[in-house]
Amino acid sequence: MAKFENKKVLILERKSHLGGYTNEVRKQGSYIWEAGIQAVGQIEENSINRLIFNFITNDSLGWTRLPDVYSRLVYPDFIFEIEKGEENFRKDLIIMFPQEEEKISAYFRDVKIAAKWFNRNRAITTAPLNKKRTQISTDSIEKIALSTLAEYLDANFINPKLKALLASNWIACGLLPSEAAFAIHAATLNHYFEGAYYPLGGSKEISETMILPVIQKGGMVLTNHSVGEIIVENGKAVGVKSNEIRIGEKIQRNYYSDIIISNIGARQTFSKLIPEFIDEQTKKEISEFTEEPVTVTLYLALHSDPREMGFGAENIWIYKTYNHEENYRLNSQLTEGRCGALMLSFPSLKLKNTQKHTAMIAVLGNLQDFRNWITRPHKNKEISKRALSGDISNTILDLVESRFSGFRKMIGFQDLSLPINLDTGEYIGGNIFGFPAIPKKFKVKWLHPETPLQNFYITGSDISGHGVVGGMLSGVVTLNSIMNVPISVFRVFRDSKQK
Ligand SMILES: Cc1cc2nc3c(=O)[nH]c(=O)nc-3n(C[C@H](O)[C@H](O)[C@H](O)COP(=O)(O)OP(=O)(O)OC[C@H]3O[C@@H](n4cnc5c(N)ncnc54)[C@H](O)[C@@H]3O)c2cc1C
């Protein structure tokens, strides 16, 4: 908005830093971790996504390529490396499971068409309300896209190890194979087929470079400002009430604007900011979506170089069993000493920070697990809280150690971050995936930038898709609803640049 119409933009962020999950975490001086970005796909030079990033950051966001092998999947008795290039991925699977060759090839074709279907669905669903929306017909592609991942795999494959391997990205989709629409699985897998990238200088560069045009045009960023209410006058949104949170006190401040956009997640927006504008049918449909999973993150400062143990800048996914439903069931009992699946990465190897090595482990868990812990009787809650952090960290490290013996010896300092305030029960994480991408999500009529309240819009993971690219595209799509700036505008820029 700052760049297209010279708008003065005010960004209100409840945390002490901008950027949501793209923020970086610094502890103990110069140890650095990423909060939620390990790899970003589909930003090859000259791609439309790269062009949009360049445009909205005044060409100041750079990218570095991660190694060709960007993911290692670690199962109980084998490790599978995903290498850049769809064809490499396909061939490696066929070498391992030659008897299912034909089905594997068909699977890659289905992934491609379901990923395309996903993009088409999001484009149609999120197009401006005043432009005609064509319904996607119920054809054979939609049937594949809207089957669950588990249904697809069970119908096409025999070997349970192969099925588990193909479903490995359930963590990146935030949904179990039995629940995830094949479309979200396909879109997420397809996202990395051409390889993975990482922001030059670290993930914090994403928000730091994006606010440049905002500041240039006289806009502002206010951190420690939590928005709790929308100010409505004559049926239109005209401002927000926010609490500025300073040590020990909350100061209420109102801000006024003719356009207000919420990026706190559609569920939070509908239920907390504008519940009185949401009709009963929509509320009922919303209540049918289960709660999104949350992440528990363990930050590790290492006193030796992880490359000595064979690690690199790739991301490592460790699964306790071949059954992902069981793996998530275990993750949902972290507070009871169980862990079934995790993602391990080494930010220092991506940042080329050879002095201060770091590792980060993320586990997809369940808020209810922590709520249960909070309601349990504790002799001394403070002591229990401290013990809980230590116990969860140990549980997580046990799973890593079981696959990479000696890992613990590298650890100098560790810190666990929970998604919930253990005193109040309040969720303190962000909006990772948006509403869970179950098949039903692709049919609802209310997940688009416009809301029932005039001048009030939604953006973020719920609109175009999750992840850095999904979030960025959501911004563009919301802009289109407000100011009629379609993605095709950026295509014109790209084509004129290439001439
Ligand atoms: C551990 C982990 C690893 C990930 N890895 C990757 C990856 O490798 N690649 C990738 O592309 N994606 C990855 N993701 C997903 C990606 O980070 C998210 O999909 C993306 O950040 C979502 O963007 P968003 O803007 O919708 O939400 P968020 O990033 O959550 O931003 C929402 C912001 O709103 C703020 N907020 C909330 N409520 C209020 C309020 N009331 N008032 C003011 N501010 C408020 C929050 O503090 C937050 O800053 C990962 C996520 C996690 C958790």
As a whole number, mean pLDDT of residues 420-427 equals 92
What per-residue confidence (pLDDT) applies to 421?
A: 94
Whether the pLDDT of residue 116 is over 90: the answer is: yes
Whether the pLDDT of residue 23 is over 60: the answer is: yes
461 CB within 6 A, ligand 1: yes
**Ligand 1 atom closest to residue 434's alpha carbon, by position in its atom list:** 26
Pocket test of ligand 1: the residue of 21, 274, 426, 463 to mutate, having most ligand atoms within 8 Å of its CB, is 21
What per-residue confidence (pLDDT) applies to 31?
A: 92
261 CB within 6 A, ligand 1: no
For 322-338, the pLDDT digits (tens) are 999 999 999 999 999 99
What is the b/e burial string over 241-254, where b = at least 16 CB atoms within 10 angstroms of the residue's CB? ebbbbeeeeeeeee
Whether the pLDDT of residue 248 is over 80: the answer is: no
Pocket test of ligand 1: the residue of 15, 23, 34, 37 to mutate, having most ligand atoms within 8 Å of its CB, is 37
Q: What share of the chain is helix, strand, coil (3-state, %, to 5)?
A: 45, 20, 35
**Ligand 1 atom closest to residue 468's alpha carbon, by position in its atom list:** 11
Q: Looking at ligand 1, which residue's alpha carbon is closest to its atom 19?
A: 467
What per-residue confidence (pLDDT) applies to 377?
A: 92
Q: Give the number of residues written for the chain.
A: 499
Whether the pLDDT of residue 138 is over 70: the answer is: no
Whether the pLDDT of residue 136 is over 60: the answer is: no
As a whole number, mean pLDDT of residues 281-303 equals 95
* Cα–Cα distance measured from residue 339 to residue 479, given in angstroms and rounded to the nearest whole number: 41
Q: Looking at ligand 1, which residue's alpha carbon is closest to its atom 38?
A: 264
211 CB within 6 A, ligand 1: no
Whether the pLDDT of residue 472 is over 90: the answer is: yes
The residue ranges of every structural domain in the chain are 2-21+197-289+432-498, 69-191, 294-417
The average confidence (pLDDT) of the chain is: 94
Report if pTM > 0.85: yes
Q: What is the DSSP code (8-state) at residue 427?
A: B
179 CB within 6 A, ligand 1: no
- pLDDT grade, residue 498 (50/70/90)? low
C-alpha distance across the termini of the chain, in Å: 27
- pLDDT grade, residue 131 (50/70/90)? confident
**Ligand 1 atom closest to residue 18's alpha carbon, by position in its atom list:** 49
Q: Looking at ligand 1, which residue's alpha carbon is closest to its atom 2?
A: 36
Structure tokens at 301: 């400062």
Contact residues for 253 (Cβ-Cβ < 8 A; gap 6+)? 225, 241, 242, 243, 244
- pLDDT grade, residue 30 (50/70/90)? confident
432 CB within 6 A, ligand 1: yes
Higher model confidence: residue 98 or residue 355? 98
* Cα–Cα distance measured from residue 213 to residue 322, given in angstroms and rounded to the nearest whole number: 47
For 3, the enclosing helix (H) or strand (E) is helix 2-5
As a whole number, mean pLDDT of residues 423-439 equals 92
Contact residues for 126 (Cβ-Cβ < 8 A; gap 6+)? 447, 448, 449, 463, 464, 474, 477, 481
Q: Looking at ligand 1, which residue's alpha carbon is closest to its atom 49?
A: 20
What per-residue confidence (pLDDT) applies to 201?
A: 92
**Ligand 1 atom closest to residue 273's alpha carbon, by position in its atom list:** 41
* Cα–Cα distance measured from residue 11 to residue 217, given in angstroms and rounded to the nearest whole number: 13
Fold of 2-21+197-289+432-498: FAD/NAD(P)-binding domain (3.50.50)
38 CB within 6 A, ligand 1: yes
* Cα–Cα distance measured from residue 217 to residue 46, given in angstroms and rounded to the nearest whole number: 27
For 151-205, the pLDDT digits (tens) are 999 999 999 999 999 999 999 999 999 999 999 999 999 999 999 999 999 999 9
What per-residue confidence (pLDDT) applies to 135?
A: 61
- pLDDT grade, residue 354 (50/70/90)? confident
As a whole number, mean pLDDT of residues 145-150 equals 98
For 58-83, the pLDDT digits (tens) are 999 999 999 999 999 999 999 999 99
21 CB within 6 A, ligand 1: yes
For 359-405, the pLDDT digits (tens) are 999 999 999 999 999 999 999 999 999 999 999 999 999 999 999 99
Ligand 1 centre to CA of 430 (Å) is 5
Structure tokens at 475: 């911004």
What per-residue confidence (pLDDT) applies to 387?
A: 95
Whether the pLDDT of residue 133 is over 90: the answer is: no
Q: Looking at ligand 1, which residue's alpha carbon is closest to its atom 29?
A: 20
Ligand 1 centre to CA of 380 (Å) is 33
227 CB within 6 A, ligand 1: yes
39 CB within 6 A, ligand 1: yes
* Cα–Cα distance measured from residue 30 to residue 25, given in angstroms and rounded to the nearest whole number: 10
- The least confident of 82-86, 123-127, 340-344 is 123-127
What per-residue confidence (pLDDT) applies to 73?
A: 98
Q: Looking at ligand 1, which residue's alpha carbon is closest to its atom 36?
A: 264
Percent of the chain whose predicted confidence (pLDDT) is above 70: 98
What per-residue confidence (pLDDT) applies to 106?
A: 98
Whether the pLDDT of residue 3 is over 60: the answer is: yes
* Cα–Cα distance measured from residue 477 to residue 471, given in angstroms and rounded to the nearest whole number: 10
Given CA atoms 93, 98, 102, 103 in this order, what sign does their dihedral have? Answer: negative
Ligand 1 centre to CA of 115 (Å) is 22
- pLDDT grade, residue 275 (50/70/90)? very high
Q: Looking at ligand 1, which residue's alpha carbon is closest to its atom 37?
A: 264
What per-residue confidence (pLDDT) applies to 487?
A: 83
Contact residues for 313 (Cβ-Cβ < 8 A; gap 6+)? 66, 67, 198, 346, 349, 350
Whether the pLDDT of residue 320 is over 80: the answer is: yes
The torsion defined by the Cα of 307, 309, 314 and 315, in degrees rounded to 10, comes to -140
What per-residue confidence (pLDDT) applies to 355?
A: 85
